[in-house]
Amino acid sequence: MERNCPKPRLALMIGVVASLMVGSALAADSEPTVSFQRQVLPILQEHCVMCHAPGAVGYQSVSFDARSYKGVRAGSAAGVAVIPYHPDRSPLMRVLDHAWKTNDEKALRMPPLGPQLSPDELKVISDWIKQGAKDN
Ligand code: HEC
């Protein structure tokens, strides 16, 4: 009688286990999709729109309009606010986060009178940029 050779089956099992592990690693890595309208905009409405809308000081000085996707993507007089897929290079994350972590007193921080946005709020905005800053 021919004995079942265990090797191919073992290889198959290792393959299955390995692909399951890779699959779950990828799943753990990818954040749930962030919605601009449902998650990002409410943060801006709460902390930014009082100054960044026509007639208010932030809009008057740098024309950054925080009321809409279009406004955020249009950026400010200083240039773009968001570089899709690159939160670390986005001026928006600079004023919201990095500037708060430097000792440079002249670093522009938003909101200027504080407090800094919460870690959860920063993560929502950063993930949204990381996912391509989509109009979703
Ligand atoms: C109290 C009013 C006020 C609030 C609240 C405020 N800003 Fe500003 N913002 C300003 C002013 C004034 C400037 C221009 C500052 C300057 O150029 O010295 C500015 C500038 C900016 C700029 C341009 C930065 C640059 O590089 O020139 C961005 C982007 C910005 N704000 C985003 C935000 C965001 C996002 C929020 C909410 C988290 C926010 N701001 C909240 C007043 C405000």
Q: Give the Å distance between the CA of 11 and the centre of ligand 1.
A: 58
Q: Give the Å distance between the CA of 124 and the centre of ligand 1.
A: 19
Specify the 3-state DSSP secondary structure of 114. Answer: coil
Give percent of the chain above pLDDT 90: 76
Pocket test for ligand 1, best of 36, 61, 62 (most atoms within 8 A of CB): 62
CA distance 108 to 106: 6
Pocket test for ligand 1, best of 64, 109, 121, 124 (most atoms within 8 A of CB): 64
55-74 mean pLDDT: 97
Alpha-carbon distance values, 47 to 16, 87, 98, 117, 134 (Å)? 48, 19, 17, 8, 21
| The pTM of the whole model exceeds 0.85 | no
Q: Give the Å distance between the CA of 27 and the centre of ligand 1.
A: 36
Q: Per-residue pLDDT tens for 3-59? A: 665 666 766 666 666 666 665 555 555 679 999 999 999 999 999 999 999 999 999
Q: What is the pLDDT of residue 9?
A: 73
- Kindly state if the Cβ of 51 falls inside 6 Å of ligand 1: yes
Q: Per-residue pLDDT tens for 98-122? A: 999 999 999 999 999 999 999 999 9
Q: What is the pLDDT of residue 57?
A: 97
- Kindly state if the Cβ of 91 falls inside 6 Å of ligand 1: yes
63-101 as b/e: b if 16+ CB within 10 A: ebbbbbeebbeebbeeebbbbeeebeebbbbbbbbebbe
114-134 mean pLDDT: 98
Q: What is the pLDDT of residue 31?
A: 76
72-84 mean pLDDT: 98
